[in-house]
Copies of this chain bind each other. A is one copy, B any other.
Amino acid sequence: MLTKAALVNAALDQSIPLARPLKIHEAMRYSLLAGGKRVRPVLCLAACEMVGGDQSLALPMACATEMVHTMSLIHDDLPCMDDDDLRRGLPTSHKKYGEDTAILAGDALLSLSFEHVAARTPSTVSPDRVVRAIAELGSAVGSAGLVAGQIVDIASEGDVDVTLEVSAHINKYDLEYIHIHKTARLLEAAVVCGAILGGADDESVEKVRRYALRVGLLFQVVDDILDVTRSSEELGKTAGKDLASDKATYPKLLGLDGARRFAGELVGQACEELAGFDPVKAAPLYHFANYIATRQN
């Protein structure tokens, strides 16, 4: 049996044929098939199975979350944004195909993500669930989602004063805002859409959403903790970069032990939301929460 990631890779490969005009399809495939852990699609399929659906019901949506993620990477890498030349050791889309094609490849992937869900979700899924899932995906991408995160990210980077010197509270808020909108929100949508398409009742959908929100926050708390502990090793002192700067972090607010306790509570609460589901089918989501909690980088 194919692992979920292999299943996703095969479906992504089929989702974009090498049709004419060749250049745009090559550029779309170049970025979409460049590898990566397929975290969002795998969680989408896992949530679908956990609520009792066959994972094939959520496969087009799983692909859609990766298309959206890839679009955001292509556009974020552009010279007028983060200006990155390399991604995963390969030239970024605009380095390889030019800025114009990179922008269009992102546009086409974004459009395809919605079309793919609408056109390819098996007809055994009731259409009102497909519509709900599309609305959920859209809200994770647009001006209340990925795009919101990126515009605040750009605004922060453009203005060094904002990042280093304004009050710690605003700074912490900005960092969390960027994290929530650029990372956590699409992950939440992937999990929630998986549950919707898998046939979950409203209560189960909300459980899955609370799970995703806890894991999203957990990610940030662990990030703050790692900043302190990594810095300790690197610098030979207990104060990390965040602690030395004026930046508010969970270790600063709660102490390092307090932050670790909070992370433990979050992983506990996240897993608690999974308690009512078949434990075998819930295993991937359990493992993911624990992976986030114990990651070392």
Using a CB–CB cutoff of 8 Å, the interface residues on chain A facing chain B are: 16, 19, 21, 23-25, 28, 71, 75, 78, 80-81, 98-101, 103-104, 106-108, 110-112, 114-116, 118-119, 121, 126-128, 130-132, 134-135, 137-139, 141-148, 150-152, 154-155
Q: Are B126 and A103 in contact (CB under 8 A)?
A: no
Question: When A130-B127, A134-B134 are in contact, do A141 and B101 touch as well, CB less than 8 Å?
Answer: no
How near does chain B come to A121, taking the closest CB pair, in angstroms?
Answer: 8
Provide the bound-state CA to CA distance between A78 and B104, in Å: 11
How near does chain B come to A127, taking the closest CB pair, in angstroms?
Answer: 4
Provide the bound-state CA to CA distance between A148 and B148, in Å: 27
Nearest B residue to A128 via CB reads B127
Q: Which of A21, A139, A146 has the most CB of B within 10 A?
A: A21
CB-CB under 8 A from A106, the residues of chain B are 107
Q: Are A107 and B110 in contact (CB under 8 A)?
A: yes
Name the one of B24, B103, B132, B147 contacting A111, with C-beta atoms under 8 angstroms.
Answer: B147
- In the complex this chain forms, how many copies of it are found? 2
Q: Which of A78, A81, A108 has the most CB of B within 10 A?
A: A108
Provide the bound-state CA to CA distance between A232 and B154, in Å: 52
Question: When A19-B144, A114-B138, A135-B119 are in contact, do A71 and B103 touch as well, CB less than 8 Å?
Answer: no
Q: Are B100 and A154 in contact (CB under 8 A)?
A: yes
Q: Are A108 and B138 in contact (CB under 8 A)?
A: no
Provide the bound-state CA to CA distance between A263 and B196, in Å: 50
Q: Are A115 and B134 in contact (CB under 8 A)?
A: yes
Nearest B residue to A78 via CB reads B103
Interface on chain A toward B: helix, strand, loop, or mixed SS? helix
Q: Are A142 and B75 in contact (CB under 8 A)?
A: no
CB-CB under 8 A from A28, the residues of chain B are 143
Question: When A24-B147, A24-B148, A108-B143 are in contact, do A115 and B135 touch as well, CB less than 8 Å?
Answer: yes
Name 7 A/B residue pairs within 8 A (Cβ), A-sorted: A21-B148, A80-B103, A101-B151, A101-B154, A103-B103, A111-B138, A119-B138
CB-CB under 8 A from A132, the residues of chain B are 118
Nearest B residue to A110 via CB reads B110
Provide the bound-state CA to CA distance between A166 and B4, in Å: 49
Provide the bound-state CA to CA distance between A151 and B99, in Å: 12
How near does chain B come to A139, taking the closest CB pair, in angstroms?
Answer: 6
CB-CB under 8 A from A16, the residues of chain B are 143
Nearest 8 A-B pairs (CB), nearest first?
A115-B138, A127-B127, A80-B99, A111-B142, A118-B135, A127-B128, A111-B141, A118-B134
Name the one of B21, B115, B128, B135 contacting A152, with C-beta atoms under 8 angstroms.
Answer: B21
Q: Are B100 and A115 in contact (CB under 8 A)?
A: no
CB-CB under 8 A from A146, the residues of chain B are 107
